[in-house]
Structure 1
Amino acid sequence: MGDPTGPGDRLRALGDELVEIHTGLRAELERLRADVDAHLNGRAGRPRQLKAHCLAFCSALTRHHTGEDTGAFLHLARRFPDLRPVIVKLEEDHRLVSGLLHDLERLLDGIPDEPDEAEARRVMGELDGLAAILESHFSFEERRILDALDALPPEAGTTESLLGLPARPDG
């Protein structure tokens, strides 16, 4: 008998994998927000470390969205034509989020070693806005496409090829 975890085989439903990826991204955004808050309030962190943390988060989120756009969404649109309007909306969200990530990177690039209160409020406002948009996006996506993802055959691809990230970053 073959290895049940080989390429093309999934031990868990793809919808569960998507939820796990979203959970990880939510947690990472919360860590980034806490790091920025600590720096802005003089408790910890340096701008360089914040930039690295932001770049890591932004890169993971971009890989996930690109993976969906070029992987899962193509399969879903072919197999479930009635989902095409939902997929168009999700792709629009991805473009919006991409712009927000670029804005955030530029903003964090300019954080001084000792930011003033106005700068601190501006940075946290951007992060709060990004968090709200991502939560809305993730929730909408999870409500609308989980069942369809679960219906994709294993030969459609691996979690990473369809969703851009492995569900278990350490696995």
Structure 2
Amino acid sequence: MTEGEKTRLTAWGHELRSVHNRLREALQVTRTALVKGEATELATRDLLLFCHGFCTALTRHHEGEDRELFPAIGAAHPELRDTLLKLQQDHSMIAHLVAGMQATVERRGSPVELDRHLEGIAAIMESHFRYEERQLLTVLDTLALDANPQEVLGPL
């Protein structure tokens, strides 16, 4: 195996951590916009933009994992199929929470309502990310998957 091939193989673990960190940052920006949104109409429009951007990025990340990454891991590591099923169930739960938040944003719900949605998403998302990293980073460091990282993990 050449150094270039080894770098490509180990990149998936790095890519996953990078995307998770960017989603954590996007969530924090969204929560900051919520606090500011109580004061001005401009900040409220920013909140709508940040919520939409965060929700879209998180959704695309999970859809890519379900479509590309998890089947590749399952094929290479059948012993992880139960873990992958649990992660996909988390994706479904997070999608439900994101849909609830998006509906609240669209009807211009109160900052208290929005904060409640963001708090729920944050808790489940962080638990999910930590579990996923504990269970899959070692596997990702050896996964041979020839695919575009943005299609597999969402926008970097």
Tell me the TM-score normalized by structure 2.
0.87
Q: In structure 1, which of residues 66, 87, 94 is the aligned counterpart of residue 63 of structure 2?
A: 66
Give the total of aligned pairs.
Answer: 152
| CA RMSD of superposed structures (Å) | 2.1
Deviation of 1:43 after TM superposition, in Å, equals 5.6
Deviation of 1:33 after TM superposition, in Å, equals 0.5
Where 1:62 maps in the other structure, the secondary structure is helix
Quote the residue 1:82 is aligned against. 79
Q: Which has the higher helix share?
A: 2
Structure 2: runs of 5+ lacking an equivalent: none
Quote the residue 2:130 is aligned against. 139
2:130 pairs with 1:94 = no
Quote the residue 2:11 is aligned against. 13
Deviation of 1:124 after TM superposition, in Å, equals 1.1
Contact 2:97 2:120 in 1 (8 A): no
Tell me the TM-score normalized by structure 1.
0.80
- Same amino acid, percent of matched pairs: 34
1:82-119 CA deviation, whole Å, 9 max, x = no partner?
A: 1000000000010111111110011112226xxxxxx3
Where 1:138 maps in the other structure, the secondary structure is helix
Structure 1: runs of 5+ lacking an equivalent: 113-118, 167-171
Residue type at the aligned position of 2:149: T
